[in-house]
Amino acid sequence: MKWVVLTMLLLPFATAVVTLWAGHRSEVATKFLAVSGSLATFGLACVVAFPQLGHADPLVVTYTRTDSISPAIGLAANVDQLSAVMVLLAASVSFLVQLYSVGYLHDDPRYPSYAALVSLFSGSMLTVVVADDLWMLLVGWELMGACSYFLIAHHWELAEARAGAVKAFLMTRLADLGLLFAILLIGERTGSYRISQVTTILSNWDTSLPALLIVIAVIGKSAQFPLHSWLPDAMPGPTPISALIHAATMVAAGVFLVARMYPIFDADALTLLGVVAAITMLVSAFYALVTNDLKRVLAWSTVSQLAYMFGALAVGAWSAAVLHLLAHGAFKALLFLGAGSVVHAVGGRTSMTAMGGLRERIPDTFVTMTVGFGALAGVIPLVGFFSKDAIVHAGFDEAKHHEILDQPVAWVIFGAMVLTAALTVAYSMRAWLRVFFGPVDPDVEVHESPLTMRVPLYLLTAATVFGGLVFADPSRILGERAEEDLFHGSTAILMTALVAAVAGLVVFLWVRYDGADPWPPPVEELQPPEDHIYDLVLVRPIGALARAVVINDRDVVDAYADGAGASARGLGWVLRLAQNGSVQAYLMVVVVGAAAIAVAAGVLS
Amino acid sequence: MNHAYLDALVAAPFATALLVMLVGRRSEGAGVGLAVLGSLVIFGWSIPAVLEDRAVDAVWIESLDVHWHLLLDGISAPLLLLTTLVTLCCQIALVRHAPDCGGRASLAALLMLIESGVIGAFLAVDMVLFFLFFEVALIPMWFVINAWGDQHDPIGRRRAATRFLVFTVLGSALMIVGFLIVKADSGTFDITQVSSASTVAAVLVGIGLAVKTPLWPVHIWLPDAHAKAPTVGSVILAALLLKLGTYGFIRFWLPLVDPADDILPVFAGLAVVGIVYGALACLAQTDLKRLIAYSSVGHMGFVVLAITSYTTIGVQAAVYASVAHGLITGLLFFAAGAIKDRYGTGDLAELKALYGAVPRLAGVLAFAAMASLGLPGLAGFWGEMLAIRSALFAHDALPHDTFVVLSVIAALGVILTSAYFLVMMRTLLQGEPGPRGSSRDASEASQRVETKADLHWLEWAAWSPLLVLTVVLGVAPGLLLDPVATAMTGVLR
């Protein structure tokens, strides 16, 4: 099994290299390599993951280690229940995205590099989720950032794609410094970089600062407040990439990291995490409600749902958070691939003003996306309902008993959760109605997507519909960390009532305004105000400073040179010599130099 | 055996240089071919260096007590291999790319001469020997920049060459005075036998090496020299000659320094200023080669910061970052040179959308940029990460808080480094195909970004060792960390 894990990790990287090499030599071969490589990775992922589900012991293996620095760094894997489910999520969504992309990018000349980057991306995510060594985790963590940079900039002729890519990379990399310093501190304080060791020897080291630094890292990676604006701006990338980034990799890695390192999180770190999550889930849900662009609506909803998971982790609901991560992985991949199908159908436009009345013209996309929106809103009995229900219940428990957080903080988180649940229903309904109902634009030529795009949609729909079965006995997947009952009848009834009431309200408004947008955005596309602050406080001063440095360097160089020429005769002599350029002159310098050494050595000794 | 092995390492490039020069008079092509062959043999000869430590110690100039003392250990072996490999890559690159002004064989011979000096300097443990080899490497480089540099700007390239020589020779002068003081104090030029030195000596040697590395604020010779040199010259300068400075810091400066003195924090401060300053300078650069040149100032800042932490990990980080910088910046300069060959300019304002025009070349440049900004999984990461780590947990005698602050600033410098490489990629590689700039010169500009021949197989051949090693050292850091750890006796007190 040890080597199966390693093969699973290396296969996507090998696939990337081979795909790139095949390149434009043969289009069919490139597509075949990309899809079959990711299918094989998925197969290996199943072999690795299934034995580790439930009550199995974690598989901890070391491949190599470098002992010449202390603590040692190494290549080591640790597949526990959490890793196993993440491996399955990442490998399955990556495979579906590769399959879908064959149709979606069927005549894109940049397909080879695209497919290679998707393979690289999934390999990086698999590295993150099975890594036992923290440096190995960081390698995967930042490689994902680089892959997302290149993929967001796939359409590099578009200014917003270029800007979005740079923003995504810089914001996440800035936050990644938190992880870098956290790892350094953990290594110094525990004498080990192995996750399996540092999360088990807790009594004798101070975990507070590393945990806070990890929170900073995940704020960037998972696009939480105040670094939340990069994710919506990453939308100019191809839509399948959004599915990959939002559902199974990149942003999911932030939640995974907190879940993985959960034992080191103390009340301080969890309070910070909870407060950030409460702000983020509300703010981004509001943005989702008043955004016109379908993909940006989904992006804001991802930010909001990730905050939900962090909120769950902050109130101690580890298993609910992990299950919501999985559920979200399924339905958000479904929604983004569905959105890709819609965008594909209406000829590449992403604004919802270009859509409307599409339900009869793209029926497969309509059915599958309806399930996706339903799961996002929390409609019984879809998977999103169960996971959200478990989180809200845990939030309420913590608010009542405040075992981890201060009571006011816990109440704030719980309040944000309920309010966000309501807002989520509202924006899901709004988007669903605007895309599939209402007036049909007869000028738009609409065509249903090819089979390679519809198959992934139906597979993800199945996962979204039947995923709720997991909640019958979560310990069969997550083992002893999910022993408690995650289904609560009273919360379920209240939440369903909430969903029904808000949905009713949206439909009422929709009918009353005669199919017009119930929440028209105040401006065409809202941009978070933080961006202006960053621009004013960071980007512009650094730009000004950079120009000053260049001018200064130029002037200093001239001053040195002038000074040298004018003042020092000796220097002038060397300069003239140099400009003569004759070999004899150099030989003389060397000889004189050697003589000087001889004299000096003699005098001094 | 050891004697022959080490002497041959120094002598073979020198002999090859002479042969290439002789053959080159008859036929330029044959001369370059001989240079490729010679550098390939020397590279092969240098590979067994990793197997065991070797040393040669013979009296050379008895009256001055100068010894022919060469030492090959875990610190010098990686740099030796870097030297022989990069020289080989440069010679291969010369096969395809004939300089406009001719004299290809002479250029190849000069590169072999430089290799001889650089190898000697990396092996020397006698201070005078180090100084002499250092000078041997410098003077041919002056010719390389002066004669084969930027053909569009003869005045500029002469000025750059002269400035390079004046600065480094002045640095050498300070360094040799420092060495003489050490000799006066301890009675030997052999650095392995020096156990302490006066602060004055340490400062003088430090300043001398700071010029060569270079360290802010004596870096100002570097951008011009790198930008005006021919492609192979830039590669050798960045990949090898700068390493003479960092290697000198490790081998000849650390043993002289007392960690309780203030000298280490001062140099650490200069290094960190250089990291930020270099990154800021890059952000506002408009010329590709100058940008890469300034990026070296930042990278060398990390190396010196690691050294000043006065720890084993710091030295490991310094060697790692030196080798990684050699590979990655070599690759960057090769790519920049290839762009300049094709479009006649490296001006970022005139070029754009190279992803579309020359996709493979643009891909290599993007890869090298990612490696240079310290992406984990590639070679550039470990050196800089370990540099930050060594400063965060510096030697006990050093001011702890100062070094923590410096390490945090250095880490922020990593972000600035990312920023300027992303800006470079955005302006150079990405963009709307079609004319750039104002409509007046649109026709001229659009001609410049037209599709050109993509990478030639000889370019792949010259670059691929650097590409492959950048990945290998990125995933297997033990390859470089282990040998350095074994060579640490006598470096730190």
pLDDT digits (tens, 9 = 90+) for B273-305: 889 888 888 888 888 999 999 999 999 999 999
**Which residue among B162, B181, B477 sits closest to A73, beta carbon to beta carbon?**
B477
- List pLDDT tens digits, range B48-66: 887 888 888 888 887 778 8
Q: Tell me the pLDDT band of A260, cut-offs 50, 70 and 90.
A: very high
Displacement of CA A160 from its chain's centroid (Å): 19
Q: Does B434 touch chain A (CB under 8 A)?
A: no
Shortest Cα distance from A17 to chain B (angstroms)?
A: 12
Q: What is the pLDDT of residue B490?
A: 73
Dist. CA B387–CA B325, nearest whole Å: 13
Dist. CA A126–CA A130, nearest whole Å: 6
Cβ partners under 8 Å of residue A511, min gap 6: none
Residue of A283, A312, A313 lying closest to A300 (CA atoms): A283
Chain A residues closer than 8 Å to B366 by CB: 150
- List pLDDT tens digits, range B108-148: 999 999 999 999 999 999 999 999 998 888 888 988 888 88
Q: Tell me the pLDDT band of B440, cut-offs 50, 70 and 90.
A: very low
- Report residue B250 as tokens: 């490790």
Taking phi over 0 as left and psi of -120 to 50 as alpha, with beta for the rest, A148 belongs to alpha
Residue B308 belongs to what H/E stretch?
A: helix B288-308
Q: What is the pLDDT of residue B1?
A: 60
Shortest Cα distance from B482 to chain A (angstroms)?
A: 5
Contact A331, A465 (CB under 8 A): no
- Report residue B429 as tokens: 């590689």
Chain A residues 56-115 with CB within 8 Å of chain B: 64-66, 68-69, 73, 113
Shortest Cα distance from B174 to chain A (angstroms)?
A: 12
Percent of chain A's residues with pLDDT above 70: 90
Cβ partners under 8 Å of residue A93, min gap 6: A243, A244, A247, A248, A249, A329, A333
Q: Is the pLDDT of residue A302 over 90?
A: yes
- Report residue A412 as tokens: 């704030």
Q: Is the pLDDT of residue A586 over 60?
A: no
Whether A156 sits inside 8 A of B224 (CB atoms) is no
| Residues A438, A444, A450, A456, CA torsion sign | negative
Q: Tell me the pLDDT band of A589, cut-offs 50, 70 and 90.
A: low
Percent of chain A's residues with pLDDT above 90: 35
Q: Is the pLDDT of residue A238 over 50?
A: yes
Dist. CA A373–CA A434, nearest whole Å: 13
Dist. CA B321–CA B275, nearest whole Å: 13
Dist. CA A465–CA A386, nearest whole Å: 11
Provide the greatest CA pair distance for chain A.
Answer: 103
Shortest Cα distance from B86 to chain A (angstroms)?
A: 25
Contact A328, A408 (CB under 8 A): no
| CA count, 13 A, side-chain hemisphere, B70 | 26
Cβ partners under 8 Å of residue B389, min gap 6: A184, B313, B317, B407
Count of other CB atoms within 10 angstroms of residue A401 = 11
Which whole number is the average pLDDT over B159-176? 86
- Report residue B41 as tokens: 């043999």
> What is the full DSSP assignment across A348-373?
S--BGGG--S-TTTSHHHHHHHHHHH
Q: Which residue's entry shows tokens 């004018």? A: A566
Whether B432 sits inside 8 A of A162 (CB atoms) is no
Whether A542 sits inside 8 A of B433 (CB atoms) is no
Which whole number is the average pLDDT over B373-392? 92
Mean pLDDT of chain A: 85
**Which one is predicted more confidently, B60 or A604?**
B60
Dist. CA B346–CA B365, nearest whole Å: 13
Q: Tell me the pLDDT band of B320, cut-offs 50, 70 and 90.
A: very high
Q: Is the pLDDT of residue B442 over 70?
A: no
Q: Does A581 touch chain B (CB under 8 A)?
A: yes
From the candidates B62, B64, B110, which should be mutated to test the interface with A, based on the most A CB atoms within 10 A? B64
Residues, chain A, total?
Answer: 605
Mean pLDDT of chain B: 87
Which ranges of A347-450 would DSSP assign to H, the alpha helix?
A: 363-377, 383-401, 407-436
Chain A residues closer than 8 Å to B223 by CB: 553
Count of other CB atoms within 10 angstroms of residue A241 = 28
Dist. CA B364–CA A227, nearest whole Å: 31
Please give the residue of chain A at the shortest CA–CA distance from B181.
Answer: A604
Q: Is the pLDDT of residue A600 over 70?
A: no
Contact B431, A156 (CB under 8 A): yes
Please give the residue of chain A at the shortest CA–CA distance from B287.
Answer: A550
Cβ partners under 8 Å of residue A106, min gap 6: A450
Question: Which whole-number Å values give the CA distances from B107 to A42, B35, B82, in the listed order?
Answer: 54, 10, 20
Q: Is the pLDDT of residue B402 over 60?
A: yes
3-state secondary structure of B98: coil
3-state secondary structure of B487: coil
Q: Does B404 touch chain A (CB under 8 A)?
A: no
**Which residue among B224, B353, B418 sits closest to A173, beta carbon to beta carbon?**
B418
Q: Which residue's entry shows tokens 């390599």? A: A33
Chain A residues closer than 8 Å to B412 by CB: 177
Chain B residues 244-283 with CB within 8 Å of chain A: 277, 280-283
Whether A542 sits inside 8 A of B419 (CB atoms) is yes
Q: Does A347 touch chain B (CB under 8 A)?
A: no
Please give the residue of chain B at the shortest CA–CA distance from A572.
Answer: B166
Percent of chain B's residues with pLDDT above 70: 96
Stated pTM of the model: 0.90
- List pLDDT tens digits, range A71-126: 889 899 999 999 999 999 999 999 999 998 888 888 888 888 899 999 999 999 99
Dist. CA A347–CA A354, nearest whole Å: 10
From the candidates B169, B218, B280, B467, which should be mutated to test the interface with A, based on the most A CB atoms within 10 A? B280
Q: Which amino acid is at B400?
A: H
Q: How is chain A split among helix, strand and coil, in percent rounded to 5?
A: 75, 5, 20
Contact A211, A261 (CB under 8 A): yes
**Which residue among B142, B393, B485 sits closest to A68, beta carbon to beta carbon?**
B485
Shortest Cα distance from A379 to chain B (angstroms)?
A: 42
